[in-house]
Amino acid sequence: MKTVAPLTHSKIFILDFGSQYTQVIARRIRECQVYSEIVRFDTPATEIAKLKPNGLILSGGPASVYDKGAPHPDPEIFSLGIPVLGICYGMQLMAHHLGGEVEFSQRREYGPGMLHITDSSQLFNGLGEQIDIWNSHGDKVTTLPAGFRGAARTENSKFAAIEDPGRKLYGLQFHPEVAHTPRGKEILQNFVYHICHCAMDWTMGSFIEEACARIRKQVGDQKVVLGLSGGVDSSVTAALLHKAIGDQLTCIFVNNGLLRSREEEIVQRVFGENFHVRLKYVDASERFLALLKGVTDPETKRKLIGNEFIKVFQHATEELLEEDRRNGARKHGGYRFLAQGTLYPDVIESVSIEGNPAQVIKSHHNVGGLPEKMHFELVEPVRQLFKDEVRQAGLQLGLPKEIVYRQPFPGPGLAVRILGEVTPERLSILREADTIVVSEMESSDWYYRVWQSFAVLLPVRSVGVMGDQRTYENTVVLRIVESQDGMTADWVRLPYELLARISTRVSNEVKGVNRVCYDISSKPPSTIEWE
């Protein structure tokens, strides 16, 4: 079993049976300052026992316990003496495996409900007699396993919460992890603090200290390179490594000519001047632009940019070695390690989509493509963290807000926001328009409230009028979306006055643009980027 759990901490493992809320459960537990990790539903009980979690949570899931091929846990997990909380399908599994009965139902109970607490249960400590809850289940438990008792009911279910406190086994038919169960957090707190006896030892301060120790142990006195993009993940990774190993880290920042305006300046200022990180700046803009000449197909653009990035990065590491030699550095074993800002959701995704043919909608080119080709050993110090935890770590490490709360920016940069051919002229039009969008979003306080806000340049010209002159110029589209994780998104209902201000400024100030449109498509069916 692959685990990234810190050994000395309290921890809860969440067995993932495919619920859309599994990650939310993990987040909620971490909000209790207790480390949580999502593991495969079929992790053997012997492996779980070895890792000594304080408690287990069985997530919900779309299956029915009687379905052929339904995911089942190793039944021995119920006899380890480790507290278990089954949520929804997780509770049905618990009842089913311990001798109770689950009734198959075609009708789902979905939406808000009222929970009546009928028995004093440690899980509901301090919650009174009834609470609002959120249901999303089809099947329900009709006969309890021996030793269990009902602890709460709803209008439709006698057994909305069940427990066998002697064996520390608990089940909830509703979802305590979602916001629609307003006091769900207290239920989870009761479970982790009072039933599992977890300590509140998962804090950013403790994470940073441990991560530094782990990095030092992994790399020893060897050298590490990191492809710094200026995004949150690679920036926090850089700051963390710098704290851990100082000058053994060199960051490579590649200017591919497709960056937003002042991007390279910000990164050089923050890392080179404030942090004194060893930073190698590579200006490869001309190479990239020459390569993109005449190219209009979106996938071809992405592939060309991704492959070129690898070549430029490889060349830069060779140059670094050369520079080290010239500077008379003692012989060292080269740059053996590559640091990457892989986050926890990437790690989980790769577990839960196993066996599912993942559909490639757009090929994403990040530094992620580097290691296979370059035989680096990976250092991934933030692979335990969710995005908001990475941000907290960044702030604690002293990174400025402009980096920590920066909106995502795609690896292929402005090339996927210029439809059609990427030329220096079109890049300059888009940069100017984008700068106006960002500055208006910032000054109206909207920038940090949305997921992304940017301009797109279309290969479409239209007729306009300016003064007494007829114009025939370019079209800029505003793409401003809200999203939790980029997987789905909706366009933001910005105040008309703000939209009007952006539109007026873009058409008045950016030479070559006479029309501004607002993209009102959600994802799906559209994507966030236009290519």
Which residues of the chain form contacts with ligand XMP (CB under 6 A)?
362, 364-366, 408, 410-412, 452, 486, 523, 527-529
- 32 is a catalytic site residue: no
Comparing CB distances to ligand XMP, the nearer of 22 and 452 is 452
Give least dist CB 258 to ligand XMP, A. Answer: 11
**DSSP E strand boundaries for 64-108:** 84-87, 101-103
Exposure string for 433-465, b = 16+ CB within 10 A, e = fewer:
bbbbbbebbeeeebbeebbbbbbbbbeeeeeee
- 263 φ/ψ angles, rounded to the nearest 5 degrees: -55, -50
Residue 500 token pair: 């009007």
Give least dist CB 434 to ligand XMP, A. Answer: 13
Sheet holding 149-153, edge to edge: 35-40, 11-16, 55-58, 84-87, 169-172, 161-164, 149-153, 109-117, 130-137
DSSP-derived 3-state class of residue 320? helix
Q: Are 438 and 478 in contact (CB under 8 A)?
A: no
Give least dist CB 485 to ligand XMP, A. Answer: 9
Give least dist CB 236 to ligand XMP, A. Answer: 15
Give least dist CB 476 to ligand XMP, A. Answer: 17
Give least dist CB 521 to ligand XMP, A. Answer: 11
Exposure string for 144-174, b = 16+ CB within 10 A, e = fewer:
bbeebebbbbbeebebbbbbbbebbbbbbbb
Q: Which of 109, 163, 177, 529 is labelled catalytic?
A: 177
Comparing CB distances to ligand XMP, the nearer of 248 and 452 is 452
DSSP-derived 3-state class of residue 352? helix
Q: Smallest Cα–Cα separation from 427: which of 364, 485, 525, 510?
A: 510
Task: Determine the Cα–Cα distance for residues 38 and 201; give it in Å rounded to an integer.
Answer: 18
Phi-psi region of 81 (alpha: psi -120 to 50; beta: other; left: phi over 0): left
Give the CA distances from residue 294 to residues 255, 312, 421, 427, in Å, rounded to whole numbers and listed in that order. 21, 21, 6, 14
Comparing CB distances to ligand XMP, the nearer of 37 and 233 is 233
Comparing CB distances to ligand XMP, the nearer of 27 and 362 is 362
Q: Which of 88, 196, 198, 251 is labelled catalytic?
A: 88
Q: Which of 96, 97, 175, 365 is labelled catalytic?
A: 175
Give least dist CB 364 to ligand XMP, A. Answer: 4
Q: Are 252 and 222 in contact (CB under 8 A)?
A: no
- Tell me the catalytic residues: 88, 175, 177
